[in-house]
Amino acid sequence: MSIEALIFDVDGTLADTEEIHRQAFNAAFQEARLWWNWSAHQYAGLLATSGGKERIAAYVDSLAESEAARRELKARIPALHAAKTRIFTGLIAGGRAPLRPGVARLVREAHAAGLKLAIASTTSPANVEALIERSLGEGALRWFSVIAAGDQVAVKKPAPDIYHLALAVLGLPPAACVAFEDSGKGLAAAKAAGLFTVVTPTFWTQTDDLAAADLLLPSLGDPEAPLDPGAAAAIGAPYLGLAELERLVAARAAQPAS
Ligand code: XBP
Ligand code: MG
């Protein structure tokens, strides 16, 4: 096996979580007695900004407020975001975000095969821990060699920094790893880090520029949720397993550099 590690993004990739994030942001705003209430349409636009704290700051900048009022609102962001994370992790612990098809299967297959596992996410570490523990079980956090997330890097996706951090801790070159993403920003970050990247978009990222994906699938698929005929033909199987991944990565590596 030439693949030594799988590196997963979280929001949108492990689970379709952005609707839960949106609800948590709005609940935190109400708790703070702010009249803000982000609609799904509004949130889709706000997702252009990586990071929840940065997203709130971008929203404040869009408000018709004085500079002084903006400064005062921005000073409240750390507390607002801490409340949002508390609410989000509570919703996740309540089972509000099941893993997407194939994620648990592929993670378990890779763990059993002795591959290293990593996370490379813009989201806050607490969110990652809550999702993995709830969906893969208490011990599953220990399967991951590194959970690179949130403010552990100064510059978030589409910058490659979070992937560079994951690769450094893994102690592996990009050629030995595969990245899994859902969005244009995440794809750009993984490709800038030199990684073969599988992209499984969601409602929130379906209109992103995903042309650079090495493999674009509606999901990873499962025996009980097989891929559509077109996607299955692309990988030569009804769902993506390590064998298919190994074959596709090797085929890509054998192609002359474009
Ligand atoms: C997605 C993000 C995050 C979440 C919100 O992260 O951009 O900001 O939307 O989480 P990824 P926080 O797809 O890289 O997992 O509020 O904790 O940032
Ligand atoms: Mg994502």
Q: Which of 121, 123, 151 to mutate to test the pocket of ligand 1 (most atoms within 8 A of CB)?
A: 123
The CATH T-level fold of domain 5-16+99-254 is Rossmann fold (3.40.50)
The sign of the torsion formed by the CA atoms of 229, 231, 233, 236 equals: negative
5-8/177-181 β-pairing: parallel
Ligand 1: atom nearest CA of 14 is: 15
Domains in the chain: boundaries: 5-16+99-254, 18-93
* Catalytic residue check, 61: no
CA-wise closest residue to 150 among 3, 11, 6: 11
Residue nearest to atom 4 of ligand 1 (CA): 123
CB 177 within 8 Å of CB 170? yes
CA-wise closest residue to 6 among 129, 109, 128, 133: 109
Provide the whole-model pTM: 0.97
> Ligand 1 centroid vs 131 CA: distance in angstroms?
13
The sign of the torsion formed by the CA atoms of 122, 125, 130, 136 equals: positive
What tokens were used for 156? 């978030």
CATH number of 18-93, picked from 1.10.150.240, 2.60.40.3140, 3.40.50.2300, 1.10.569.10? 1.10.150.240
What tens-digit pLDDT sequence spans the chain (258 residues)? Answer: 699 999 999 999 999 999 999 999 999 999 999 989 999 999 999 999 999 999 999 999 999 999 999 999 999 999 999 999 999 999 999 999 999 999 999 999 999 999 999 999 999 999 999 999 999 998 999 999 999 999 999 999 999 999 999 999 999 999 999 999 999 999 999 999 999 999 999 999 999 999 999 999 999 999 999 999 999 999 999 999 999 999 999 999 888 876
